[in-house]
Amino acid sequence: APAPRIATPAMSAPLSTHADIARDVEGPLFNQCVTHKGVLYLSGQVSSNTAESTTVAAQTKDILDKIDALLTSHNSDKSRILRATIWLSDISTSAEMNAQWDAWLDKSNKPVRATVEGKLVRPDLLVEIQVEAAVHSRAGPINTAAAAAAVGPYVQAVRSESGLLFVSGCIGLEAGASGKMVGDTVEEQTQQVLANMRAVLKAGGCGPQDVVKTLILLDDMADFAKVNKIYEAFFEGGAVPARACFAAKTLPKGALVEIECVANAPN
């Protein structure tokens, strides 16, 4: 059976039991990353190669490279760091650490910082750094040349801060400058409608598998079965979303079918 679109605690074992908190890069005792209300919290980072990185400078560089990678993979970067805490096994090495930090830092966007001396978890670890950073906003309009352009004062889609993607009604227009209607049959137009929808979903970081709700408008309800056959294939055998379907008096540009959707963009 196709996998459900919305997992419940009984169906899966998510890293977080709270919908508003994302936990990632799980370890046996803690996660490396937690995101909540637009802020990314990284666990303390240490050098992964202390056999070769035996100085504070080398370990600091290793750590900052790891932080860069984690920030990038979680939709942030060093210019968005809000706070940093640095632990040194020997506070007299702070100048050595600071030289690496200064070379790496975005000078226009310095975070608040604390630097303290402390005994780290292993004797070969000389420095540990923990940061918190703002993630880039996910909210905003979505537009792509790979789908037919909007035919009125609206955008192809809008993504909310929570990651919901609201896709405007798609009709069977070609993408590109021509913008002409594809075919005279409901089957041809449905194929193009879904091609446009797929392109908008992709631009918004989604795919058919992320769609949770659709609305289909038909020029003629007698075309219901024809549209259904093509629509079902769009989901490639996966679970189908919630849906409503109506016959409309008239559709834009003389279209025979129009489909809009809502998708849940992955983190």
Q: Is 245 marked active-site?
A: yes
Q: How far apart are CA 1 and CA 209, in angstroms?
A: 14
Q: Give the three-state DSSP class for 222.
A: helix
Sequence-ordered alpha helix ranges (H) in the chain? 56-73, 94-104, 186-203, 224-234
Q: How far apart are CA 115 and CA 112, in angstroms?
A: 10
Check: CB of residue 232 under 8 Å from CB of residue 262.
Answer: no
User: Going by DSSP bridges, is the β-strand pair 39-42/127-134 parallel, antiparallel, or unpaired?
Assistant: antiparallel
Please give the structure tokens belonging to residue 207: 């795919």
Catalytic residue among 33, 170, 245, 261: 245
Residues with a catalytic annotation lie at 245
